[in-house]
Amino acid sequence: MVTAITRRLPFGLSEVVAPSLVGYLLINLCTFFIDLGLLGLFHGTLRWPLPVAVTLSYGTASVLSYLLNRVLNFGSHEAVGRQVPVFAAVSASNYLIFVFGLTNLLSFLGVYYEFSRIIAACCEAVYLYCMMRWVVFRDVRDQPAEGSSEPYEPAAIWPATPMAAPEPPPAEPTPATVRQPES
């Protein structure tokens, strides 16, 4: 299904966007709303301290994101025991850098805290996708397109190999000495 969605992307994006990116965005958009819903429940309704509410809501959404991306998006078969510590480190660094750090920094600089959180969420989406694709789920390549035996390889924006220098034009022929006919 995600491959079918990817193929229908406009403006030539289907040539450069991997299906795992589309799957990641769909899954993590849902888990982001779960995070916000739990935050509202823990802090707004139950009146838990904000740091506790943020940590528990983010942690719950992160675990759900890992499980859904592992099974539905990346289809990883690597041992969970190897992936979980790596994912925990990625989640902890994401929490410190973006959820806590960038949000608070932007708010301190005068950006409304809601907008600060949205900016931080966009930054963390890029960070987390890259870390999940190339670090946590490194055992998985993008799945082949439906009906294709070839693995999905988005067209490169930059060439994979350096471009060869163009061939120099052929050298100008040097004037040959004209032979005079023998008489």
pLDDT at position 1 is: 66
Each residue's pLDDT tens digit, 80-103: 999 999 999 999 999 999 988 898
Within a domain: residue 45? yes
Q: What is the CA radius of gyration of the chain?
A: 26
- Give me 20's structure tokens: 């795992």
Within a domain: residue 148? no
Within a domain: residue 147? no
Residue 120: exposed, middle, or buried by beta-carbon count in 10 A (0-12, 13-18, 19+)?
buried
Within a domain: residue 71? yes
pLDDT at position 118 is: 86
Within a domain: residue 164? no
Within a domain: residue 118? yes
Query: Which residues of the chain register pLDDT less than 70?
Result: 1, 141-183
pLDDT at position 133 is: 92
Within a domain: residue 41? yes
> How many domains does the chain contain in total?
1
Within a domain: residue 85? yes
- Give me 8's structure tokens: 């229908």
Q: Taking CA 138 as the corner, what is the angle to CA 133 and CA 140, rounded to the nearest 5 degrees?
A: 85
Any residues with CB less than 8 A from the CB of 12 and at least 6 apart, and which? Answer: none
- pTM for the predicted model, two decimal places: 0.70
pLDDT at position 45 is: 92
Cβ(83)–Cβ(76) below 8 Å: yes
pLDDT at position 109 is: 93
Instruction: Give the structural domain span for 121.
Output: 16-136
